[in-house]
């Protein structure tokens, strides 16, 4: 296409980002060029913006970041099958090799050769974005772009909730940031029993109640494990969905889990976590699931089914909408935890 566009670039390996003019990316033979209509901020984007130890180890700079989007295809590569100009799309952000053992056995979400859209490859906080045609997800024409761009984080919530049986189970969601709030919606839509939300942010606990949590626990005011056991008559919680990554929260989550229960771990700790594996996992017969991204592409079809059948109303999860040039205000809100999902309307 040539010409230039405005993009939010992680230009320097330090705090912040730069809104600047950059070239419109060139569409390869197996790629498509998408005109971006809406993007949303992920916790990963906040890590990149703040430039923590994970970002230092992982992120390639300079680079347009952002990986949650919806838009319209404006150019198609010569070998880009199944996609046409004018298609309304989103995309899976993990670009995998397709030839390793994980990819060949249905586990591409843990491909060791993964490149990540907006992290180790150019992303979508821009007017245009390049995506592998094989990663494209077609959106229902009636799905608003501000909802369609949430499918990447929604997939994380769907995979975490549905990595085991959920129907009628008591569920603790520890860490009700944006993905935790989405997990409440998913758990309710998929038939969970009582849902308990845990956080240290009163604003997010209030949002959790609005999303449908039956009880909330402020983790700085009461010990999480004790509160959850009290709420379950001393038995513990059937399903623990750990989304905070806080080491103490992880320990408390295992302590709160019922015998023969499930603990699904999505939150990423920034330091080692010390666990009593003997008493809190082995002797309790727990099933422990590590969650990374979405199963490709099982999770996408699950969430498309939930969205297209109107089983999920995600509008209330979006608390703020901005233009891309308001990124500083948006990231400040994210950093303070005073928001649900934030969407950039392009």
- Residues 39, 47, 170, 346: which is the catalytic one? 47
Q: Answer yes or no: is 284 within a domain.
A: yes
Asked whether residue 43 falls in the same domain as residue 145, the answer is yes
Asked whether residue 139 falls in the same domain as residue 160, the answer is no
Q: Answer yes or no: is 308 within a domain.
A: no
Q: Answer yes or no: is 268 within a domain.
A: yes
H helix or E strand, kind and range, residue 180: helix 178-189
CB 342 within 8 A of CB 329: no
pLDDT at 256 over 80: yes
What's the chain's average pLDDT?
95
Asked whether residue 118 falls in the same domain as residue 166, the answer is no
Quote the tokens at residue 112: 């060791």
Give the model's confidence band at 2: pLDDT under 50 very low, under 70 low, under 90 confident, else very high.
low
Summarize the confidence of residues 19-32 as an average pLDDT. 96
CATH number for the domain that contains residue 276:
3.40.50.720
Amino acid 54: pLDDT: 87
Cα angle, residue 19 at apex, residues 17 and 25 outer, rounded to 5°: 105
Tokens 């999303």 correspond to: 211
CA contacts within 13 A on the Cβ side of 158: 23
pLDDT at 127 over 70: yes
- Residues 12, 18, 44, 218: which is the catalytic one? 44
Provide the whole-model pTM. Answer: 0.93
Amino acid 109: pLDDT: 94
Amino acid 203: pLDDT: 93
Q: What is the pLDDT of residues 180-223, one digit of tens each?
A: 999 999 999 999 999 999 999 999 999 999 999 999 999 999 99
Give the model's confidence band at 1: pLDDT under 50 very low, under 70 low, under 90 confident, else very high.
low
Summarize the confidence of residues 291-313 as an average pLDDT. 91
Asked whether residue 62 falls in the same domain as residue 134, the answer is yes
Peptide bond into 212 cis (omega under 30): no
Reply yes or no on whether 44 is catalytic: yes
Q: What is the pLDDT of residues 46-56, one digit of tens each?
A: 999 999 988 99
| 73: containing domain | 4-150+314-345
Asked whether residue 233 falls in the same domain as residue 166, the answer is yes
Asked whether residue 166 falls in the same domain as residue 235, the answer is yes
Q: Answer yes or no: is 324 within a domain.
A: yes
Asked whether residue 144 falls in the same domain as residue 94, the answer is yes
Asked whether residue 15 falls in the same domain as residue 101, the answer is yes
Asked whether residue 128 falls in the same domain as residue 200, the answer is no
Amino acid 309: pLDDT: 85
CATH number for the domain that contains residue 36:
3.90.180.10
Asked whether residue 36 falls in the same domain as residue 163, the answer is no
Asked whether residue 188 falls in the same domain as residue 119, the answer is no
Reply yes or no on whether 26 is catalytic: no
- Domain-ending residue, one of 275, 290, 305: 290
CB 17 within 8 A of CB 9: yes
E strands present in 93-187: 94-95, 115-116, 128-132, 136-138, 171-174
Number of domains the chain contains: 2
Q: What is the pLDDT of residues 61-100, one digit of tens each?
A: 999 999 999 999 999 999 999 999 999 999 999 999 999 9
Q: What is the pLDDT of residues 113-122, one digit of tens each?
A: 999 999 999 9
Q: Answer yes or no: is 88 within a domain.
A: yes
CB atoms within 10 A of CB 177: 25
Q: Answer yes or no: is 306 within a domain.
A: no
- Please report, for residues 219, 229, 257, 276, the alpha-carbon distance to residue 224 in angstroms, rounded to integers and kept in the order given: 6, 9, 11, 17
Amino acid 213: pLDDT: 98
Asked whether residue 174 falls in the same domain as residue 139, the answer is no
Torsion over CA of 128, 133, 139 and 144, rounded to 10 degrees?
Answer: -10
Q: Answer yes or no: is 296 within a domain.
A: no
Q: Answer yes or no: is 128 within a domain.
A: yes
Summarize the confidence of residues 171-178 as an average pLDDT. 96
């Amino acid at each position: 296409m040539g010409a230039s566009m405005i993009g939010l670039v992680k230009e320097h390996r330090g705090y912040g980002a730069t809104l600047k003019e950059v070239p419109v990316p060139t569409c390869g033979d197996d790629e498509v060029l998408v005109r971006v209509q809406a993007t949303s901020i992920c916790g990963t984007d906040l890590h990149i913006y703040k430039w923590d130890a994970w970002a230092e180890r992982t992120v390639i700079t300079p680079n347009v970041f952002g990986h949650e989007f919806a838009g319209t295809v404006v150019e198609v590569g010569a070998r880009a099958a199944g996609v046409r100009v004018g298609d309304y799309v989103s995309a899976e952000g993990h670009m995998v090799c397709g030839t390793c053992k994980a990819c060949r056995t249905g586990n591409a979400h843990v491909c060791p050769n993964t490149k990540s859209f907006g992290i180790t490859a150019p992303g979508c906080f821009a007017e245009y974005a390049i995506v592998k045609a094989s990663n494209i997800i077609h959106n229902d024409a009636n799905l608003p772009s501000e909802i369609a761009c949430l499918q990447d984080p929604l997939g994380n919530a769907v995979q975490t909730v549905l990595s085991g049986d959920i129907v009628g189970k008591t569920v603790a969601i520890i860490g009700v940031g944006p993905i935790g709030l989405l997990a409440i919606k998913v758990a309710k839509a998929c038939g969970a029993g009582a849902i308990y939300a845990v956080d240290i942010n009163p604003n997010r606990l209030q949002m959790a109640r609005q999303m449908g949590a039956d009880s909330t626990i402020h983790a700085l005011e009461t010990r999480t494990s004790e509160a959850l056991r009290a709420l379950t008559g001393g038995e513990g919680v059937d399903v623990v969905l750990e989304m905070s990554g806080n080491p103490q929260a992880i320990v408390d989550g295992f302590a709160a889990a019922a015998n023969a229960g499930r603990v699904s771990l999505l939150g990423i700790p920034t330091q080692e976590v010390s666990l009593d594996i003997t008493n809190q996992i082995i002797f309790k017969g727990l099933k422990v699931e590590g969650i990374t991204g979405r199963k490709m592409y099982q999770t996408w079809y699950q969430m498309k089914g939930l969205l297209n059948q109107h089983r999920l109303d995600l509008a209330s999860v979006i608390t703020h909408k901005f233009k891309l040039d308001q990124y500083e205000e948006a990231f400040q809100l994210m950093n303070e935890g005073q928001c649900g999902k934030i969407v950039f309307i392009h």
